[in-house]
Amino acid sequence: MKLFAIAVLSLAAALHAQQTTATFYAVVTDSSGATVPAATVTLTHDGTGATVTRTSSETGEAVFDFLRVGSYSLRVEAKGFKRAESKGIELSAAQNVRQTYTLEVGATTETVNVEGSAPLINAVSSEQLNTFENAKILDLPVLRRNYTGLLALNSGVTMAAEGVRMNGIGKNGVSYNVDGTDAGGNPEGRYSSNYLQPNLIDIMSIEAIQEVHTVKGVPPAEYGNMVAGQVNLLSRSGGNQFHGSLFENNRT
């Protein structure tokens, strides 16, 4: 009985976790549309230079999971085909996307740059995901530099005095997470504020936020303890380039 209780508690903790990484499916085909197995697919994180390499399966698919958020470059190589390269692949937390890359017959020393790729669309899972990356968070006019001012830009999200409402359900149906950890200010009555709303900055400053995204609709199993939706915040991390910010905030 004790072992069963431990297992149940462990499962509950897992269900309440937020997915802070992305999954990318690269499908490799030739010009006729046939899949290309045994192709070498390399994904490089632009900010840190970290690389991950996969080999395409019999169906031509290479799966990259547990990817940190950010911009990526991709390289595809296969015997008898020109090398294909693609840059500026933006991945967000909890994103599950599939992209097809078509190889041209030729020497592997030749390179084809893939430009103007179709937007990354979630064709893997059914949740409704809306993301604001760091550039939008800093550039859009936000009252008091509080990230919650962005949430109402999502469809089905309204801001009320008592908190955030999603899909017509009250504030207690919304969950808040930071880097995969519960960040609600009150477990009995949920608020975006850590201190029951007397403070002007909710949860964390926009300077420290890498992404703000909301999950609605039919969420996958890793989301729990919510019925309307979930607000996920990812904190910023380092990279190979020095970066910082300077701002002035004046209200009269």
143-163 confidence digits (pLDDT tens): 778 888 888 888 888 877 667
The verdict on 163 and 189 lying in the same domain is: yes
What pLDDT, on a 0 to 100 scale, did the predictor assign at position 192? 62
The verdict on 148 and 97 lying in the same domain is: no
Mind listing the pLDDT tens digit for each residue in 39-97? 999 999 998 899 999 999 999 999 999 998 888 999 999 999 999 999 989 888 778 88
The verdict on 51 and 108 lying in the same domain is: yes
Q: Does residue 8 fall inside a structural domain?
A: no
What pLDDT, on a 0 to 100 scale, did the predictor assign at position 187? 58
Q: Does residue 16 fall inside a structural domain?
A: no
What CATH number did the domain enclosing 218 receive? 2.170.130.10
CB neighbour class for 43 (10 Å; exposed up to 12, middle 13-18, buried from 19)? buried
The verdict on 208 and 161 lying in the same domain is: yes
The verdict on 142 and 167 lying in the same domain is: yes
Q: What's the structural domain count of the chain?
A: 2
What pLDDT, on a 0 to 100 scale, did the predictor assign at position 172? 77
The verdict on 156 and 229 lying in the same domain is: yes
Range of lowest pLDDT (3-17, 39-53, 94-108, 231-245): 3-17
Strand partners, 231: 176, 214
The verdict on 165 and 221 lying in the same domain is: yes
The verdict on 224 and 132 lying in the same domain is: yes
Using 50, 70 and 90 to split pLDDT, how confident is the model at 12?
very low
Q: Does residue 252 fall inside a structural domain?
A: no
Say whether pLDDT at 218 is over 60: yes
pTM of the predicted structure, to 2 decimals: 0.65
Q: Is 225 left (phi over 0), alpha (psi -120 to 50) or beta?
A: left
Q: Does residue 199 fall inside a structural domain?
A: yes
| Structural domain range at position 63 | 22-114
How far apart CA 80 and CA 103 sit, in angstroms, is 10
Strand partners, 157: 166
Q: Does residue 3 fall inside a structural domain?
A: no
The verdict on 107 and 136 lying in the same domain is: no
What pLDDT, on a 0 to 100 scale, did the predictor assign at position 162? 67
